[in-house]
Structure 1
Amino acid sequence: MAAEGEDYLIARLGAEMRVHLDGGGADPTAVLLPFDGLFEVRVAAALRLWRVLNGRHPGRNPAALSVARRNRLILALRALDGRLDGATHRMIAAALYDAEPIPERDWISHELRDRTARLVRLGIAMMNGGYRRLLLHPYRGRS
């Protein structure tokens, strides 16, 4: 039995997984999972690993951001750039949504006003350290 294990990167069928083998040589190979707050996440990862090792499609990566979430983050960063350059929310909305300039009297009740304000707030929150929450996705609240 090896005192120190070995780490491997398995890349098959579009999935990359890091595996640590302890050198115990168990037959059949086994996965050891602690019963902690991340148990469900670990089970899903073990199932994805088993699928890949058996030549099957691994399934969806639970840690990947959805396309909608990614697009919202991109818009938030663009809104933040505009705000830091001194653009008004109306100017940001026109640039982000490729909209015609919205008249001042219509801006107060326009749907893009609130949406743009939320994007600017999200961008500012990310700039002030909120980007670290992306590292926790999808494991927030599971410690």
Structure 2
Amino acid sequence: MTHHIVSGEPDGLRGINAIVLPLDANFEIRLDAARGFWRALNGRQADVRHGSLPLQSKLRHILNLRAVDGRRARVPYRQLAEELLAREPIAPRDWRDHHLRHKIRAILRRADRLIAGGYRGLIVYPQSRRRNTGL
């Protein structure tokens, strides 16, 4: 896919700058990027981007990454669940059947899918939701 930024004096028009974007499935993303580029060139503040992840999704992905960091540091799952999800300590005798045991394992499975390449769907969100990436 070719993108063009035309600057200078095309066809004798002074001060005309343009960005040529293909009308494809990612047009909205490209248009938003071009708009952000224009705002930066004109010294304007960044805006909310098209397709920004909802706050709940951002918080879920942060939780996923924190859980993976804990697992890589060899933190036991019970301690991970206590730190990330519980309001009070979980007794070792209750851990085997505790609902947070299943929840922390589900979080880590979801994080593993992201690490295995599912994060690419975040780049083209919300179009990735239409492709059923499982996120």
TM bucket normalised to smaller: 0.5 to 0.7
Q: Which runs of 5+ in 1 are unaligned?
A: 1-18
* Helix, strand or coil at the partner of 2:18: coil
Residue type of the partner of 2:76?
A
Aligned to 1:97: 85
- Partners of 1:39 and 1:97 in 2: CA distance: 39
2 CA distance for matches of 1:67 and 1:127? 20
- Supply the AA of the counterpart residue of 1:25: P
Partner of 2:19 in structure 1? 31
Matches of 2:38 and 2:68 in 1, distance apart?
43
The count of aligned residue pairs is 123
Amino acid paired to 2:17:
T
Q: Determine the structure 2 residue equivalent to 1:115.
A: 103
Of Structure 1 and Structure 2, the greater strand share is in: 1
- Rounded to whole Å, the distance in 2 between the matches of 1:43 and 1:118 is 36
Q: 1:47 to 1:128 in 2, by over 3 A?
A: closer
Secondary structure of 2:25's aligned partner: coil
Distance apart, 1:75 and its partner CA:
2.2
Gaps of 5+ in 2: none
**Deviation of the 1:120 alpha carbon:** 1.3
State the alpha-carbon separation in 1 of the partners of residues 130 and 84 from structure 2. 35
CA distance in structure 2 between the partners assigned to 1:134 and 1:39 by the alignment: 16
TM-score (norm 1): 0.55
Q: Please, what is the CA RMSD of the aligned residues?
A: 3.8
Closer, same or farther: CA 57–74 of 1 in aligned 2, 3 Å:
closer
From 30, 36, 39, give the equivalent of 1:42.
30
Residue 87, structure 1, aligned to residue 76, structure 2: yes
Structure 1 residue 113: Cα displacement: 4.2
1:64 Cα deviation from its structure 2 partner: 5.8
Residues 126 and 141 from structure 1, CA distance in 2 versus in 1: closer, same or farther, beyond 3 angstroms?
Answer: closer
TM-score by length of 2: 0.58
Q: Aligned to 1:35, what secondary structure does the other structure show?
A: coil
Report if aligned partners of 1:37, 1:142 keep a CA contact under 8 Å in 2.
Answer: no
Higher mean C-alpha displacement, 120-129 vs 34-43: 120-129
